[in-house]
Homo-oligomer: A and B are copies of this chain.
Amino acid sequence: MEKPSFLQRLFESVSRRPGGVPRAAIRDARRAVSLCHALLSERGEVSGAHLARDALAAYQALEGESLSVFFDLLAEEFSPDPQMVGKLAEAYRVNPSQANLVGLQQAVEAPRGKLFQRLNMAPGGTGQLVEMRRRVMREVKLKPQWAGIEADLARLLASWFNRGFLTLQRIDWHTSALVLEKLIQYEAVHQIKGWDDLRRRLAADRRCYAFFHPRLPDEPVIFIEVALTRGMSAHVQPLIDPSSPVCDPADANCAIFYSITNCQEGLRGVSFGNLLIKQVAEDLGREFPRLKTFATLSPIPGFRAWLAKAPKLVQSETQQAELEALVTDLDKPDWREDDAMRERMQPLLLRLCAHYLLHAKHREEPLDSVARFHLGNGARLERLNWLGDTSENGMKHSAGMMVNYVYRLEELERNHEAFAHDHRVIASRRLETLARESLLSQPPAPDQKPLEHA
């Protein structure tokens, strides 16, 4: 079953180039692959979890070059047989019957798919396969020969992490330290600075929910942080201030989703955020009937990068100059302290940002990744918040602004379809007006259609 030609080539390459793959790396990878072959064989069928454990352990011991060799071998020796695929594809072409389809489906399935299924029997197997995909993805651009591995893992994990198998769990101070420290570690939007910071985020007027997979009980797949507030929050710093007073959640009329974090890079593309927000909104609505508004408080991560290129988008030189001056001013460290400067910049920036959110596109989709996500979920762009996030990060990417996306459960499907079919961005009047008043939209354009940008 092993293909000596490949190994031969490998060894030749070792001897050929100085600085090639060290023999020890090849030996370790080879050993792991042998165990994988055994696991796929007759013996694997009867040995159960023991062999799976050994194979997984051998794989886990790999790193750097030995890991690369392992993936190379996984691509070489556990791919479908091209002959067989060719033959059955031809058969299907001649007669596209169900039987021929089933045959072809089997032929294109890589043996490594079955290998992954068997590795999953080992304790910790599921987590290791998620991690394996992360490793492959990280380098697949440079190693196109690994694309098949990535695709097989992606398909398998999408199937296993089906929403139907995930459970929604509330996370609070009753949760284990094991899970809580993962939140501290994973939080991607507004850094959690330790246990006291975390504690405030789990107090009575906050909520945190996560999806868990039954096989990974201590590993959140994705989590969301919510503040229960009076009025729609415009500023994030008060929400995450560890010393802010705790309010009675029964008084709240808004649920503000201020952070959502995908924890597992190895599950990229297997999307849950959409479902998580909706289920949390439904659950909170039942628990607190006085909640009227469900909205995010979100960054606008692509705004400043786009703004830097905006001068090129206008034709009028005056406008160009004005935009360039704005970009320059934004780079000054203390513009926020300078009252005159701040007051001059505020209306300009708000309008430009509104324009960016409504009209800056990549192909037909919003250029801003966060906008793309929430609008794709059927939310509406509601309000821009000046100095909503004054952290270093917030200033650097979003020029300190934040935006609220509102989730109205009854209009999500309609908004989503308008967005998906007609690429329409659903936004409040206020935001549409702001965008219309921006430097980019205003004077010149005889052409009505907004510009498209890469």
Q: Give A contacts to B, CB under 8 Å.
A: 42-43, 45-49, 75, 79-80, 82, 85-86, 89-90, 92-93, 96, 98-99, 101-102, 104-105, 108-110, 117, 120-122, 125-126, 144-148, 151, 155-156, 158-160, 162-165, 173-178, 180, 194-195, 199, 214-215, 218, 274-275, 278-279, 376-378, 412-413, 416-417, 420-421
Task: Verify A105–B108 contact, CB threshold 8 A.
Answer: yes
Q: Pick the contact of A377 from B46, B148, B160, B175 — CB < 8 Å?
A: B46
Residues of B within 8 A of A155 (CB): 105
In the complex, A420 Cα to B146 Cα: how many Å?
Answer: 33
Task: Verify A89–B102 contact, CB threshold 8 A.
Answer: no
Task: Verify B46–A413 contact, CB threshold 8 A.
Answer: yes
Q: How far is the CB of A41 from chain B (nearest CB, A)?
A: 9
Residues of B within 8 A of A80 (CB): 101
Q: Pick the contact of A48 from B42, B158, B274, B376 — CB < 8 Å?
A: B274
Q: Pick the contact of A274 from B43, B46, B158, B159 — CB < 8 Å?
A: B46
Q: Which residue of B lies closest to A176 (CB)?
A: B174
A98-B176 in contact given A89-B93, A165-B214, A165-B215 (Cβ < 8 Å): no
Q: How far is the CB of A385 from chain B (nearest CB, A)?
A: 26
The 6 closest A-B pairs by CB, nearest first: A89-B89, A120-B164, A214-B214, A82-B96, A46-B416, A42-B420
Q: Which residue of B lies closest to A83 (CB)?
A: B96
Residues of B within 8 A of A416 (CB): 42-43, 45-46
Residues of B within 8 A of A45 (CB): 274, 416
Task: Verify B98–A108 contact, CB threshold 8 A.
Answer: no
In the complex, A105 Cα to B89 Cα: how many Å?
Answer: 11
A148-B102 in contact given A90-B93, A165-B215, A177-B180 (Cβ < 8 Å): yes
Q: Pick the contact of A93 from B86, B117, B160, B180 — CB < 8 Å?
A: B86
Residues of B within 8 A of A156 (CB): 159
Task: Verify A413–B101 contact, CB threshold 8 A.
Answer: no
In the complex, A49 Cα to B144 Cα: how many Å?
Answer: 37
A173-B173 in contact given A90-B93, A416-B43 (Cβ < 8 Å): no
Task: Verify B175–A176 contact, CB threshold 8 A.
Answer: yes
Residues of B within 8 A of A376 (CB): 46
Q: Which residue of B lies closest to A143 (CB)?
A: B98
Task: Verify A46–B177 contact, CB threshold 8 A.
Answer: no
In the complex, A218 Cα to B172 Cα: how many Å?
Answer: 14
Task: Verify A85–B75 contact, CB threshold 8 A.
Answer: no
Residues of B within 8 A of A279 (CB): 48-49
Residues of B within 8 A of A274 (CB): 45-46, 48
Task: Verify B147–A99 contact, CB threshold 8 A.
Answer: yes
Q: Which residue of B lies closest to A119 (CB)?
A: B164
In the complex, A377 Cα to B46 Cα: how many Å?
Answer: 6
Residues of B within 8 A of A47 (CB): 412-413
Q: Which residue of B lies closest to A148 (CB)?
A: B98
Q: How far is the CB of A182 from chain B (nearest CB, A)?
A: 11
In the complex, A340 Cα to B118 Cα: how many Å?
Answer: 55
Q: Pick the contact of A175 from B92, B165, B177 — CB < 8 Å?
A: B177
Additional A-B contacts beyond A117-B159, A159-B159, A177-B195 (20; CB < 8 A):
A43-B417, A46-B274, A46-B412, A47-B412, A48-B274, A49-B163, A80-B101, A85-B89, A86-B93, A89-B93, A89-B104, A99-B144, A99-B147, A105-B151, A120-B162, A121-B275, A160-B160, A160-B162, A173-B177, A195-B195
Residues of B within 8 A of A176 (CB): 173-177
* Cross-chain pairs A/B with CB under 8 angstroms, 5 sampled: A43-B413, A48-B275, A49-B275, A89-B92, A125-B164
Residues of B within 8 A of A377 (CB): 46
Task: Verify B90–A75 contact, CB threshold 8 A.
Answer: no
